[in-house]
Chains A and B, each alone.
Chain A
Amino acid sequence: MAQKEFAGQMVDVNEEGYFTNPQQWNKEIAAAVAKEEGLELSDKHYAIIEFLRNRFNSGEALSIRSINKSGIVDVKEFYALFPGAPLKKSTKIAGIPKPSSCI
């Protein structure tokens, strides 16, 4: 398994750079991953990341619709905060697996 250093710590990642062990995540690591993606994390980013992690930990599927219903941001803001491929980017920064949902 590949390892990568973020914020001075080694974490296990897969070939696409997603964490394989979400326990190895913390906020400093998130900031380092975000930097690599070209993002500076704001409180809004962290609120979404926390939402994603909570949802992942409770075993719920992640979809763009669930973000819209989260009450944290609407979809438009979500795309603006994580430009490009928002759900992929945000889950990578959140240290959880890439979403397997099609919606």
Chain B
Amino acid sequence: MSSSNDKPLKKVCIICAKGTIEDVYAALVMTNGAVMEGIEAKLFFTFFGLDAITKKQMKKLKTATIGNPALRMPGNIPFPTLLGALPGVEAGVSAMMKSQMEQLDIPPVDEFMELITAGGGEIYACKLAMDMFKLKREDLCEHVSGVLTIGEFYEMAGGEGTQIIFT
């Protein structure tokens, strides 16, 4: 598949700044996929992405039912924006997303992070966003290795064959 001239990817630093189910899972799948391939992987959560590593929020992630034109109901019918605004609809849609994922053997957020860290992947939180959201280290789940400034993040991203990916 790859020619001998290709330089293999050695390290990925993935940034997740949003807290919806799909944004968080995209970052988790990419990170875990890298770990499984033997690629060094660092996952960095910032802004609303912090919900994914906050003990209180990580099990309650949602998919947005408003402002999401690709969201469709079963039978491929477009999802009306006004319906998405009704109470309980977002929770229902999110529960459906989660059950679909469970069917594909995609683990819940905390278990996914356990798989990543068990394989040597590392998960970090952004210091500035933590300060903004008034979060403390103890609010974060056990899978988080540390809280970083952007400078520390770039230090970590050094080395040949490294890619920074902003999801």
Residues of A within 8 A of B (CB): 16, 61, 63-66, 68, 74-76, 79, 83-88, 101-103
Contact = CB atoms under 8 A, between A and B. Distances in A.
A102 B115 contact: no
Given A79-B118, A103-B32, A65 B38 contact: no
B119 A103 contact: no
Contacts of B119: 64, 75-76, 79, 86
Contact of A65 (B1, B33, B37, B107): B107
Contacts of A79: 118-120
Contact of A85 (B36, B104, B106): B36
Contacts of B104: 103
A85 B8 CA distance: 14
B152 to A, nearest CB: 26
A88 B37 contact: yes
Interface residues of B, number: 17
B158 to A, nearest CB: 22
16 contacts: A61-B105, A64-B32, A64-B36, A65-B107, A65-B115, A74-B118, A75-B115, A75-B118, A79-B120, A83-B38, A85-B36, A85-B37, A85-B38, A88-B37, A103-B33, A103-B106
B29 A102 contact: yes
Contacts of A66: 105
Contacts of A88: 36-37
Given A79-B118, A103-B29, A63 B105 contact: yes
Interface string B45-83: 000000000000000000000000000000000000000
